[in-house]
Amino acid sequence: MTRRFARLAAGAALLTASAAAAAGSHVFLVQNSGWMEPFYTDPASPFKPLVAEIVMAATRAGDPMVLAAFNQGVPGAPSPRALLSLKVDPVATRREVVKALAALDVARKPGSTALADTDLNEAVDSAIGTALGGKPGLVWLVTNNRNSPNNDQATALRNRDFYRLIHRGDAIGKALAFPLQMPVQGAQYRANGLMLYVFAVGEQGARELDALLASGRLQRVVTEPPARLKPLDRDTVRLLPRKVSDAPGVSFSMTPGGVLHADVDADTRAPTARIEWNLENAMYPYTIASATIGARSVLGGEDRPIELASTEVRKLAPGTGAPLASVMQLPVRQLPGKWSIEAITSAGSAYVLPGRIELQLSGQQLELSQAFRQRMATLFPGDPLPDIFTPPAQVKGSTAVLPIEVRVHYGVGPLVAAIGAALALLGAAAAAMLAMARPRKAYVTVEDELRTMHARAGTVQPIYDKAGNKVAQLKTTLFGHQLIDLREGAQVRLGR
């Protein structure tokens, strides 16, 4: 590896200096070997404008990016060769990209008129290891899908290297391919199409690619649906609810974000639902030839199996669905009662219990769909199907997760009752405070003399006889008056 990077130092140094692999980094690799001759020499070729639009659609302001040409590195002509290295500014970057591509031409071998050969594996490996330094980012590869060193037809060896890098390497977490139609005629060759690959390096790179696809920016330029290369062991199918029966008080719906909502009435005590789904193959361009399926729900700390009417999937083509019936229980014991604090605070809205439905496919057999094979044969006539589209033998299972939110709807009755009780308590407290603050009249007879005293609740007042001696005390509470500390023999009583 060291020797190879030394050979590539002239081109790779700029890649390394620019990308530094910050989050959001992009490396665009554009093939300019001999096989690409018609894309460069056909006067009507839309190749360079398309590449410029892909760069602008994939990046955002501030993203570090590198634009590089690649063929096959040889002494005196390293590959890849950086054309641009910058942080994206929408206006200036478009101008620089168009200028760099305008100056790019088909490469020739040093000291020869022979056109340069191609090494896809070398280009991608250099972008990951040198340009990104193994850190997160996206590597884009624009190629005619031919990987033939020394202008021979022995593509199998190079294809296997490319296959191992993509499928068996740990660096790439997600890989997609876009076969694009582009008929061009050059002086030496003609072509019907090319391939756009994108490789997400690291988990952060995969998240960036998902966010890019969700934004729709790339789809405005590349309308072909992406062919998934990796991963093939997760999120391979989708569950879409069609019908719910035998579930009084329970209804299901799907949000645009792909979250299943189970709305449960507060009085429902045994929410078991029979749900009919569409099980959809989300692995374009692969057909699920066969697989065994199982499902479970994880809700409120409860892990429950989901009973499936059928546990076998056969010949499920990409983008198509198959009916799947199931019986699912919701976690009754985890749902708050209507008089609970959770219910009262959720009155008028919903108490949400998050969870997930997990679907497992085992014994999974994948086949490349015939429709995709035919499209590849049309775009690349006479070329063998690249090994990169062969599913890895070790991928025998996959998982799919459907987020679910159980939402319990509570009426406002308990909340109104709680508010009423609180108001009553407040009223009682206010009345007590007023009663304590208001002077109360008390009649006390001392030695046959009727006296009128005024006292507030919570106070104690002394009582004196005619000679000025203390003979008792008057204690006043919310509930009345009381004589305390009565002196022995004293003629004192409450009342007249």
Tokens 């250099």: give the residue. Answer: 126
CB atoms < 10 A from the CB of 401, how many? 13
> What's the confidence (pLDDT) of residue 11?
38
Chain mean position to CA 250: 27
Task: Calculate mean pLDDT across residues 272-299.
Answer: 88
| Spatial distance between the Cα atoms of 439 and 417, rounded to a whole number of angstroms | 35
How far is Cα 346 from Cα 411, in angstroms, rounded to an integer? 9
Q: How confident is the model at residue 42 (pLDDT cuts 50, 70, 90)?
A: very high
State the DSSP H helix or E strand holding residue 5, giving kind and residue range, or none if neither. helix 2-7
Kindly tell me if the per-residue pLDDT of 427 is higher than 70. no
More confident position, 258 or 38: 38
The reported pLDDT for the residue numbered 268 is: 62
What's the confidence (pLDDT) of residue 142? 97
Distance (Å, whole) CA 329 – CA 321:
24
7, 78 in Cβ contact below 8 A? yes
- Percentage of the chain lying above the pLDDT 90 cut: 38
Tokens for 103, please give them.
């100056």
CA of residue 98 relative to chain centroid, distance: 34
Per-residue pLDDT at 10 exceeds 70? no
Whether 3 has a pLDDT exceeding 50, the answer reads no
pLDDT value at 136 more than 50: yes
CA-based torsion, 123, 284, 240, 327: positive or negative: negative
pLDDT at residue 156, rounded to an integer = 55
If pLDDT is split at 50, 70 and 90, which confidence band does 431 have? low
Asked if pLDDT for residue 80 goes beyond 80, the answer is yes
Cα–Cα distance for residue pair 276/283, rounded to 1 Å: 22
Full-model pTM: 0.74
Residue 20 or residue 421, greater confidence? 421
- Which residue, chain included where needed, has tokens 């594996």? 121
- The structure tokens listed for 436 are 């304590």
**pLDDT of 189 higher than 80:** yes
Q: How would residue 335 be classed by pLDDT, with cut points 50, 70 and 90?
A: low
Confidence at 137, pLDDT banded by 50, 70, 90: very high
Is residue 446 scored above 60 in pLDDT? Answer: yes
Q: What does the pLDDT look like over 227-236, one tens digit per residue?
A: 999 998 888 8
Token pair for residue 146?
């031919």
Token couple for 230: 């990796």
Tokens of 166: 């993509």
Q: Identify the CA nearest to 344 among candidates 424, 252, 420.
A: 420
pLDDT tens-place string over residues 447-485: 888 888 888 877 888 988 888 888 888 888 877 888 888
CB atoms within 10 A of CB 30: 25
- Window from 15-29, 38-52, 313-327, 387-401 with minimum mean pLDDT: 15-29
CA–CA distance, 478 with 270 (Å, rounded to integer): 51
Lowest mean pLDDT among 182-191, 361-370, 374-383, 422-431: 422-431
How confident is the model at residue 205, as a pLDDT?
Answer: 94
C-alpha to C-alpha distance for 146 and 119, rounded to whole angstroms: 9
pLDDT band at 6 (very low <50, low <70, confident <90, very high): very low
How does pLDDT run across 337-364, given as a tens digit for each residue?
Answer: 555 555 555 455 567 778 888 889 999 8
Dist. CA 316–CA 268, nearest whole Å: 37
Is pLDDT above 80 for 171? yes
* φ and ψ of 483, to 5 deg: -90, 130
Mean pLDDT of the region 152-157: 53
pLDDT(440) > 80: no
- 404-414 pLDDT, tens per residue? 887 776 655 45
47-58 helix and 90-102 helix, angle to the nearest 10 degrees: 150
Neighbours of 442 (CB within 10 A): 19
For the ranges 63-67, 135-139, 140-144, 488-492, the lowest mean pLDDT is seen at: 488-492
Instruction: Give yes or no for residue 314 having a pLDDT over 50.
Output: yes
Quick one: pLDDT at residue 461? 85
Report phi then psi at 439, rounded to 5: -60, 140
- Right CATH number for 2-230 from 2.30.30, 3.30.450, 3.40.50, 1.20.140? 3.40.50
> Tell me: domain 237-411, CATH 2.60.40, correct?
yes
Query: Does 7 have pLDDT greater than 50?
Result: no
Distance (Å, rounded) from C-alpha 430 to C-alpha 322? Answer: 67
pLDDT tens digit sequence for 212-252: 999 999 999 999 999 999 998 888 888 888 877 766 777 77
Distance CA 67, CA 213 (A): 21
Q: What is the mean pLDDT of the chain?
A: 81
Size of the chain, expressed as the number of residues it contains: 496
- The model's pLDDT over 115-134, given as tens digits with 9 standing for 90+, comes to 888 888 889 999 999 999 88
Residue 336 has a pLDDT of: 56
According to the model, what pLDDT value does residue 274 have?
A: 81
Residue 89 per-residue DSSP state:
-
Q: Is the four-CA dihedral 103, 104, 109, 115 of positive or negative sign? A: negative
